[in-house]
Each structure stands twice: as structure tokens, then as C-alpha cells.
Amino acid sequence: MRFVLSLLYFFILSQSVTAQYEITGTVLDSQQKSIPFATLRVTKQDSSFVKGSTTDSTGLFCIKMADKGDYLLYISSIGYIPSKVNFSLRDRKLDLGTLILKENNILLNEIEVKGQLFVRKSDHVQVIPDKQQVKHAGTGYDLLNNLMIPNIDVDVQTKKVTTFGGDVTLYIDGRKADYREIQNLRPKDVEKIEYYDAPTGKYATDIAAINYVTRQYRSGGYISLDGSQYIGYLNGDYNVATKLSHGNTAYTLFGGYEMVDYSGRKRSSDEHFFFPDYQVERVYNTLEGKVKRNQQYGQLNILNRTKKRTLSGKFTLVHNESPDNFSSGIMDYKGHYSMSQNSLTRSAASGIMPSLELYGNFQLKNKQYIETTLRGSYSKNKYTRNYKEDSYESANYTKEDFYEMMVGVNYGVSLQHHNSLTFQFRTFYQNTSSHYSGDLILWQHLWNSTSLFYVEYNQSLGNKFSYQVMPGLSAMYYRLHGDKKVVQYSPRLQGRIIYKLAKNQQLFSNILLANAFPNINVLNEAEQTVDFMQVKRGNPDLRNMTFFQGTLNYSLQMGKVNANVIGFYLYKNRLYYSDYQLEGGKLVYGYKDNACSHTANAVLSLSWKVTGHLRLKADGQFTHMNYYGGIHRSINDWTGSLQANYFWKDFAFAISGKTTSKILDMDLSYTRQPASYRISAAWSRNNWRVEAGANSPFTRHAYFKYRLDTDVYSMSQRSHSRLYQQNGYVKVAYTFNFGRKTSRDWKNVNTNINSAILKVE
């Protein structure tokens, strides 16, 4: 026995002494991004196999060798051209430095190198646009729409990108961009798109993320003009941008003007008020209505980038104005009141907001990075509303000063055993001072601070299995002047398990325990008159809502077909919702938070590249939603959508449509949205692009239907607007390049002006 133990000891010792050489290095792509889990194979000069390994989640590798000598290192990864490196091992340690793999399916000088369009990477899906998709896209939205990524819905009209579960967060070269402001991104400058359907790292708090990876230029510039005009009502959007690149620094100036002016907004409703001693029925029909608004913005963007750091600064000025919106109609009362009244509602709003944003991303030693964001803004807002029913009149006037600041810090480090650690901290501060006059005389000062902290740990076990654990804490502080400070703490937890069934298949399960805070514009004591029978009131005592979410997602990339199947469950506690009470002969429309809800969904999304010219995408979804506790509501709904694109030479033709859908809103109403469809044709050549299209061209009246039933109030309503009727549009865009061609920048302009004013919509 002693002999056996001695033999085993000397065997282990000899092995440890023999394995005294090691080679290290990093595998990156042409954009200096790490390639995780690339396959490594060491052979002798005669190609006889010696040892195999893989890179870790950050592209690093360390291979221990038994003997010195001359060797070959073969490197390969899906979506990249394999590479071979000759090296001589003489010393105990050899660092091969940075090794670059080139993509095997990129577009070079308009020549298409065919490969798989969707490639599953370790933490995202890589999508490389083909020649047709790039040529027939004028904006970042158009390109994303042409790609037809399963479970991604792109509305090029409203500039919204959504997925099942909410909004998609958009990035350009890893920097967050407002998803409504990708309009100026030039498709020919996009090398690839990274779709994070199971976000980790800096994207971990997003529902889903899209990152545009662009080509970089060091000189030259451009001037860009684009405009769109709707036919059927007045709606125009005009923009100009100019950019100059010099070395590592780029300067970009944006400006734009948008206006909307239309009439024909119609509404008919039947309401019942159930007072203890009597009832009132009211029937309303619109006689005339008009909507008018405009917006102007400007932004100066300075960007300085090197391999180790990125710095940017943005100064933005936005002005919004709705000078005169009105609606007139007839109110017929029955029951306790028996009369016919002419009603008139007029409202106006304006706001101006300067803002400054500073951003920095620093690549540190030992595969560490730190990312910082500082953003501050000031808004000066005004809101007026006047309502009249014959002898009854109501007036509300509000002036507001709104200050906002956000600080965000992300720190990440990649460790040595296929794992990584990320720390995220964000804090939001809001301070508003509002003066109400008219029916309500009130000065209100509210400050609000929300902080979020996360620690994320990612671990890969082999090439197929990985998991993520992300505990966190959120804290909210707010105080109304004259009241006590309210402090609310909530733990947060997110966990994810990812299993790669094959190179083109992935299954991941996600759970999330989190919380959400009420909107600041309802956390107040303000009260606004709606009409002769109704009053809207805020609630400063709303608590934070907690929720649990579970998701099971299967994705498949198989040649020309891509599929997504999703199962989803969501539970909400302390759900805030609209509350209806009777006080002093009026219906008071307020807010409560003593309800719960269950939501279950099943989603199937398919995209198919039928030919080089024809692409199809189809989506189907079933939704079940149930409110209970303080309220009782439920809904079941089936929805579907279809999209088809056809490319021919310089022309592109598209048609898309969505079925009707039902929604259970927080105001407890059931909403039925009408079906919609869209057709378009576009011509693209050189720096010109012209597009013409029509929305619902054969539908004369697309109605939204609303239904609400409570113990004290019920309502049924039909409404339609010029925005959702048959209309057409024309878009024209032109870009003039000077010097060397440079990448077209993006309008990362947040044109929303925040407000805490309680408004009657």
C-alpha cells in the first residue's frame, strides 16, 4: 500500500514538473471586441494534435504545455474565418498578444459574401445585413425593419421598437441612444447588429437590447437633409444634420422642426353615474375638434474615441408647444338632470428644456471597464385648460419648474474561469415646483429620488450551459412640501439560465423580482376639473408596486428561417389603478394601489428569407390578464401580424398589417384597437432616397372602442382620429459627403419634456 501511494505521489509530482510551460493571449474580432469560447487547437509542425482549449467569456486563453518546441495554434469560431498562428515555445511563459479573427459574412464594396444572416454568439444573436437590406433602408429604423428579427416589432411611423414585454433599448457602438432618435443613422455605415435577447453585463437591466456596430472614419464629413410630409392631414417632420470628423474627434450639429395640425377628431360616448339617491345618464357627440402642436430642437454633440476610452458631451435644447387644441360637442343629460348642453374644451401647453449629458467609457487593465453617465436638465412648463357647458365654466392654469439629474456608473471585470462580475449604480433626482391657479389655488413642491444598485455574476460551464445571478436593491425617497418624507426600500433579484441545445438553438429561462414606482405626475395633492360631472385627483400616498416575472424562451436559427417561441408569466402586487368615487354630486377620478394582477402570454414569431428578393415575417400572440383584490377584471386576446418585403433593383416594396387587439388598461377600461395595415414603395440610388406609402388606404373609419363598468360609473365610447384613418405620406432624404466619407451620426436627442403636472387628457 505504501508503495502504491509513493508511486502515485511521484506520478503527480512528475506531471506538475513536466507541465511547466504556458501560452496566453486574447482573441478579438476586427472591431476589437472579444470572441468568447472560440475553439483553440495546438498541433506540432506535422499537424499532429497536442492540446485543445477555448477562450473564456472575454476572449482570454491560457494553455499549459508539457514541452518546449515549435507549434501551430488553430483558432476558429462560428461566423469567423479560421486563423493559424506559428509560434516557438522556449521560455516558461509566452504571450501571443492579440489575435484577430475576421468575420466571414460581411459586405465589402457592395459585394455580398454569402453566409448565415443570423449567427448565435455566446450572449447575443449577431445579424449581418445583406446588400438588399442595406440598400433599401434610409434610417436605422428602416434597416432594423428590413432585418425582420423574430419577436422584434419596428414601427417606422411612430419610431418605436418593441418586443414582447416592453420597449427595446437601442445602442450604437455600445452607447445608449434614444430609440426614437435613430432616424439619422445611415444603414451603409452599419457593419452588423447585435441582438441581446437574454441581456447580460451592461445590458442586464434591459428587457432586450439592440446594438448597432458601425464603421469608424477618421476624416471627412457630411451634410444631411431629410423630410417627411403626410397627405390627408398636416403632419411634417424636417431635419438637418452636419458632421465633421478629424482624427479621434467628431463634431455633430442637429436641428429639426415638426408640426401637426389636423381636425376631424370625433368621439361619441354614453355614460351612467350611479349616485345613492339618483342616477344620471349623459350622451356626448363631438361636433368639431382640432389638434395643433409643434416642436423644435437643436443639439451639439462632441465625441472623442480611442481604443481605450470613449468620451462624449451633448448639449440639447428642445421646445414643445400645443397652442390651441379644442373640442366642441353636445351633452344630453337624462335622469336627475334633463337638459341639453353645448360643451367646449380648450387646452394649451408649452415647454422648453435645455439639457447636458456627459458620457465616458474607459477600458482598464486586466479586462476591466468603467462606464459613467451624467445627465441634467431643466424644464419650464405651462399648461392651461378651459371647459364650458353653457352656464357652467371651469379654468385651470399651471406653471412649473422641473429639475432632473441622473448619475450612472457601471463597472465590469472578466475573471479567469469563464465568469464575470458587473456592478451597476444609477440614481435619479427630480425636483418640481408647480403653481396651480383657476379652480384650484395650490403651490406644490415635490422632490423625488430613486436609486438602483445591482451586482451581476455570470458563469459559463462548458460551451453549452451558463447562468446569471443579479441581486439588487432599489430605494425611493420623496416628499411633498408640508408632509413627511416617504422612504421605500425594495429588494430586487434576477436570475437566468441559458442552455445551448445546438450551435443554432438556445433555450433560456429568466426570473425577475423587482418593483416599480408610480409616475411622479400622480404623486401629488392636485385636483383638476374634467367637466360638469367629473374631477381628477392625484394621490401622494401611492406605494411602490412589486412584481414577479418568469420567462421561457426558445430560439432557432436554421438557414433561411428564424423562430422564437416564448412563454411568459407576470404577477403584480400593490397594482396602482384608477379609482372612481362619488363626492358632493361629482365623480372623483383618483388612484389606488390595493390590487393584484396575473398575466400569461404565449408568443410565436417567425421570419423567412424566401429568396434574395422576398422576405416574410409573421407573429402570433395569446394574452390572458386578470385583475383581482380591490378590483375584478379579466381579458383573453389573440393577436397577429404579417410583414412582407420585396426588393427589385433600386426599388423596395413593403406591406404589413396587424389584427384587432384588446387591452385592459390601468383606468379599468377595456380598449379595442382597430386592425391596421400599411403599404409602401421606395427608390434608392447613390445619396438619394424617396419613399411613398399609405396607411389603411381602404379603411374610411377605424374606431377605437372603450368600455368601463364600476359600481358608481359606467361608460361606453367610440372614437376616431385623422391619425388612424386612411392617409398617405412622402419621405425624401439626401446626404452630401465632403472630404472622405464619414459615418452618419445619430440624433440622440430626447425630445420629451418631463413634467409633474396633473393633466386631464
Strand order across the 21-29 sheet: 60-65, 21-29, 93-101
Does this model's pTM top 0.85?
no
For residue 102, pLDDT over 50 is answered with yes
For each of the domains in the chain, give its residue range(s) and CATH number, in order of start: 19-101 (2.60.40.10), 107-219 (2.170.130.10), 229-738 (2.40.170.20)
Count of beta carbons in the 10 Å neighbourhood of residue 339: 10
Evaluate whether 210 touches 193 at the Cβ level (below 8 Å): yes
Q: Which of 425, 486, 446 is nearest to 202 (CA)?
A: 425
Distance CA 215, CA 250 (A): 14
The predicted pLDDT at position 313 comes to: 92
- DSSP lists the bridge partners of residue 263 as 290
Distance CA 17, CA 311 (A): 48
The predicted pLDDT at position 117 comes to: 65
For residues 660-680, average pLDDT: 89
Q: Which amino acid is at 405?
A: M
* Range of lowest pLDDT (3-12, 249-258, 407-416, 479-488): 3-12
For 331-346, the three-class secondary structure string (H helix, E strand, C coil) is EEEEECCCEEEEEEEE
Evaluate whether 598 touches 570 at the Cβ level (below 8 Å): yes
Strand order across the 175-177 sheet: 118-120, 125-127, 190-196, 209-214, 169-172, 175-177
For residue 743, pLDDT over 80 is answered with no
The band of 64, judged by pLDDT with boundaries at 50, 70 and 90, is confident
Distance CA 678, CA 656 (A): 5
For residue 439, pLDDT over 80 is answered with yes
The band of 42, judged by pLDDT with boundaries at 50, 70 and 90, is confident
For residues 53-62, average pLDDT: 74
Distance CA 516, CA 545 (A): 5
Most confident of 109-113, 152-156, 369-373: 369-373
The band of 744, judged by pLDDT with boundaries at 50, 70 and 90, is very low
